[in-house]
Structure 1
Amino acid sequence: MAVPLFFEFAVREWIAASFQSQDSDSLIQGFRQMLKGISDGELLLDGSFQICGSAPCLQRLLSSREDFAGRSFRELIVDDEAKELFDHFLAPAASDGEDPETTVQLESTAAPRCLRVPLRDCAGRAISVDVFHVSLQPCLYGESTTCHLLALKEDVRSVEPPEVDPAQNALPSSLLASRRAPTAHSAASSESCVECHDELAEMTLLVNASTELLDIEEVHLRYVRRTDDSKVQMGMPTLKRFARPLDWAGIDAVLRRYARKVRKARARGEEEVEPAKQVLPSMTLRIPGESRKHLCSRCVEISPLPRQHAGEDVFLYINLFGFEGPTPPPRRLPSLSSLDEDASLCTPAPVTLGQELHADEQKRHKRRLRTERCKASS
């Protein structure tokens, strides 16, 4: 009679323990899954600080393919001082003097403890990791000692960027050969770049050595045409390039007309052209190197260059001066007294009744005066 009752009681207890074990495993599995979402990984250590199960988080943090199952976590710490701190960090939960159940109950009411631990990766670099610790009840998975659940959070500020090999970023020779030459704008922005003018043959500077900065008072440039190609930047300077497009037709016509006079006069054997110099109106030219800025000369004179033979080309001197412009008057805000009112835009005021009566009296008075003048004359 007693045997069946005892057997039924034992089966009931075994079934209840089995359900409790399944509930505990489910809670631990769900808790560890949650830690993966709020941290960089989680680890389960036994009483000897050895890793239980696989540790994919360590493989990711330490950039290693090693299977850390069964390996001591202390071996991954960088130096002895950090290992000693880690032992003191887990000492309250691993001590045998206190009741493990009491320790777990005390930790359940407080926040998990944290310690920054330097771990060594596969390349020998130190990776700083914040370790959060929670001790578990004994007899977990048949263990008689206290197990430890660790949550790992990497300190991204302590990670040094990997060294870059300069040879890896070098461009292939095919791309280097296909690169275009730098433009004049990019060349001008570089301090170490030197511009070369193909057709500039000579430059003469008149320098005043009596001044502190050695003022350049006169500049003489001599060009020699080497090609007929129209090079905008480094080619032969032309007057058309520096003249404004709308002014070029007038400038070209005046200079060619004057050149024809010089040529005809030299063909007739005359010494000089009458007049020898011709005064032109003001001329506006583009500043060299500045496509949007212009220089205005108020006085322009042209004169011929003396020639040895009549068959030589005609050269003209163009003397420009009077670049200093008048000082513009300061702008003044218009005052109310300077504003004139346009009478045509004003709406006439309406005529009142008194004004109409006064106008009728003036008309009657004028008719009476005309009547009296007629009577007197008759």
Structure 2
Amino acid sequence: MNSSEQVSTAPHIPVLVTMGDPAGIGPEIIAKALRERPELRRQLVVVGDMATLERAALATDANDDRATLGFVQIPDLSHWGEMTEGHVSIIQACKLQQPVAWGRIDALAGRAAADCIRFAAEAALKGAARAVVTAPIHKEALAAAGVSHPGHTEFLQALAAAHQGVSVDALPVRMMLSCPGLRTVLVSIHVSLRQALEAVTVERILQTLRITHAHFRLCGLPLARIAVAGLNPHAGEGGLFGGEELDIIAPAVQQAVKEGMLVSGPHAPDTVFMRARQGGFDVVVAMYHDQGLIPVKLLGLEHGVNTTLGLPFVRTSPDHGTAFDLAGTGRASAASLLAAIDAALQMTASSSI
């Protein structure tokens, strides 16, 4: 599931790409991606603000404009597929009187980003979209807009739970970060390190393993080799450096094996990612956010992909932020966004998610 793999060229419904925070690089990398890979224009609908996207097109190529990039606003998704070859379908999913200033935290930008996320998620939940690819948002702007969720993952989880009429706890999700040669799934996400340590429980680890196993099974890998990282240095050294491996992680691994999963561990966290990259495992389950994300970002931030596991639709995202320092310069790379788009196309081409 990376950018080098073949993707379907004739989906019956589109992949939706949300513009992200309009003050960040999201609109620019969308414009760049569609310019670099024009064949994607037949498969995508951009969910955002037309004026912001047109400004981004100009920022990424001084000789470009709306006409040459082919932005066309459509009233709803039923009109997707009616566009002339080469055009880019845009859904105006937010209310901005004018584009916001680049590179600044702005409640208006946070609200616009949230509105686009909501539109795309609801379309996917209704079966009108093949997948959702989200450009980066700024968590402070989201909070300034009054959105209570700290990031995409939690927001999408809440929207999906509401759609299904269940509590958020009844729809557990996990974050998977991947780059060429390494995939890692996180037991906890955007919480403090102290809270992350408290989240290392048999139940939560086992839930993570079940979600991970189910995802890979749906994507055509029925017995993914799942390695579980330890929490403590050297995976605790038999209890010398902490008892979590013996008391919590190992029992979760043993139960997962009993349920038919190909799971091993706990493995020493300072070597398990290297072993996975060398081909020993298909995915590593990490105990907390930075334990799993540091190796992925070190190995390939420019091609990193964030996938939300456990949602009733496919959601991927580039593995980087809004890069306010680059916004408006046209210098941001679209490589990670393209990897996220390719991953979404590949997963929906070969899965029943």
Same fold (TM over 0.5): no
Task: Calculate the TM-score normalised by the size of structure 1.
Answer: 0.19
Which structure has the larger Rg over C-alpha atoms?
1
- Name the one with the larger helix percent: 2
Greater relative contact order (CA < 8 Å, ≥ 6 in sequence) = 2
